[in-house]
Amino acid sequence: MPLEKLENVEKIAVLRAIGLGDHVFAIPALQALRETYPQAEIVYLGKPWLTPFMVERPSPVDRVVVVPVSYGVREEPGQVQDERELDAFFDQMQQEQFDLAIQMHGGGRNSNPFTKRLGAKFSIGTRTPDAIELDRWIPYLIEQNEFIRWLELVRLVGVEEGAYEPKITVIDKDFAEVERNLPGLNRYAVLHPGATDPRRRWPPQYFAAVGDALAREGFQIVVTGTGFEKAVIEQVIECMTFPSTNACERLSVGGLAGLLARAAVMVSNDTGPMHVANSVGTPNVAIFWCYNFLKATHFGRSFHRPLASWVTHCPLCGASLIPPDFENGPCLHDVSLVTEITVEEVLDNTFDLLGYVKQVSTWMPA
C-alpha cells in the first residue's frame, strides 16, 4: 500500500543525471508523480541533452536543471568535478526551496548526500547498506525491474500505482528534423548496432544480414548511433549488400524519436534508442543479455519482442558474470555475450512482428 500523500508540496526535485535509457525507465514514475501532485512544479536534475529534448515536448516534467559534473552522480569522460561550480549549484538549488527531493539515481552512496545538499524539506530515494538514509527510502537491490523500482519508490509519498509503459510524445519539430537531415525516407527499417557496453553488442555482420533481408522486402535501411558507435555502424554498412543510410550523429534525441515513430520496425541491441522506440510505439526486436533481460525489458509483447542470450560465464576466461560473483571479481573482457542469438531468430521475430502490425492495421477505423 502507498503511504499518505504529503501536504503542501509545491516544488519537487528529481535527481536522475544518467543516460537516455535510464530516463525512459523513470517516465512511468514521473507520470504517476504528476498525477498525484498536479499543482507541483517538477524540476528534473539531469544531463545537458535533456533540456533541448524536453523544452517543447509534453512531459510530466516542468523544468530541467543541468547537474554539474560530480563524482558518482554525473560523470563525463575527460571531465573532473569543479568544487566551486558544485557549491554554486547547491546554493542555487537551496534557493529553490524544494518541498520534496527524490533520488532516482542508484544505490545512494554518492547520490543520497548529493540529494541532502539540495536542502529540500523532505527527501526519498533508494539505498544500499553503505548509503546514508533519506527521510524515507527503499532498499536498492540490483535484481529488480527498473520500471517497477521507480514506481515503488514514489509510493513512499502517496503515489498510486500508475501505468507501467513509458510514453514519449513526438512533436512536429522532431519530424521536421528527420525530413531536413535524412530526406527521402519512405518505407524504412532502423538498425541500431551500438551499445555503451560492448558485451551487449550483437555482431555487426549479423545486423548486416538482417538489414539485407529487410532490404530484399523493399525496406530502406537506416543505421543509427552516436559518435562512439561510429566504427560499428560503418562495419554494418560495409557488410551489407544493399545500400543503407548512415544516420550517425545526424539527429538529436528528439529527431531520433521522430525517426523511430515512423519506422516500420527497429532491430536493436539493449540500449537507450530501443527504449525510445518502445516509448513512441515503434515495433521492435531487441537483443538482450539475460541479466539485463530480467531488469530492462518492457512489459508488452505486441510490438516489443525481446530476445535473450543466456550466457552466464565469460567466453574467454570462464568467469561468472552473474552477481554476486561478478561484483566480487568482475571479468574485464569486452567480448559480446549475445552472439548465441542467431540471425534466424531475429528475422523470424522481425517478420512475425511485421505481420502482426499489418493485421492490427486492419482493425483500425478507416
108-140 per-position pLDDT tens digit: 999 999 999 999 999 999 999 999 999 999 999
10 Å Cβ neighbour count for 184? Answer: 8
DSSP, collapsed to helix, strand or coil, labels residue 138 as: strand
Residues 253 and 285 in one domain: yes
Residue 44's domain spans which residues? 11-157
**Interior angle at CA 253, CA 48 and CA 184, nearest 5:** 150
pLDDT, tens digit (0-9, with 9 covering 90-100), for 177-213: 999 999 999 999 999 999 999 999 999 999 999 999 9
pLDDT at 183: 96
DSSP, collapsed to helix, strand or coil, labels residue 100 as: strand
Q: Is residue 283 part of a domain?
A: yes
pLDDT at 213: 98
This prediction's pTM: 0.89
Residue at a domain's end among 102, 124, 157: 157
Q: Exposed, middle or buried by CB within 10 Å (0-12, 13-18, 19+), for 123?
A: buried
Q: List the strands of the sheet with 41-46, edge to edge.
A: 63-66, 41-46, 11-15, 100-103, 122-127, 136-139
pLDDT, tens digit (0-9, with 9 covering 90-100), for 224-251: 999 999 999 999 999 999 999 999 999 9
Count of the separate structural domains present in the chain: 2
Residue at a domain's end among 157, 182, 201: 157
Matching residue, cell 516542468:
62
Residues 107 and 238 in one domain: no
pLDDT at 365: 75
Residue 242: which CATH number? 3.40.50.2000
Q: Is residue 2 part of a domain?
A: no
Residues 111 and 190 in one domain: no
Residues 153 and 205 in one domain: no
- C-beta of residue 200 within 8 angstroms of C-beta of residue 337: yes
Alpha carbons 212 and 218: distance in angstroms, whole number:
10
**What proportion of the chain, given as a percentage, has pLDDT over 90?**
84
pLDDT surpassing 90 at residue 6: yes
Mean pLDDT of the chain, nearest integer: 93
Alpha carbons 230 and 155: distance in angstroms, whole number:
41
Q: Write the CA distances from 194 to 18, 133, 272, 294, 363, integer angstroms.
A: 18, 37, 10, 20, 35
pLDDT at 330: 66
pLDDT, tens digit (0-9, with 9 covering 90-100), for 135-170: 999 999 888 999 999 999 999 999 987 778 899 999
Residues 104 and 193 in one domain: no
10 Å Cβ neighbour count for 290? Answer: 16
pLDDT at 326: 56
Q: How confident is the model at residue 333 (pLDDT cuts 50, 70, 90)?
A: confident
Q: In this structure, what C-alpha cell is assigned to residue 194?
A: 551500438
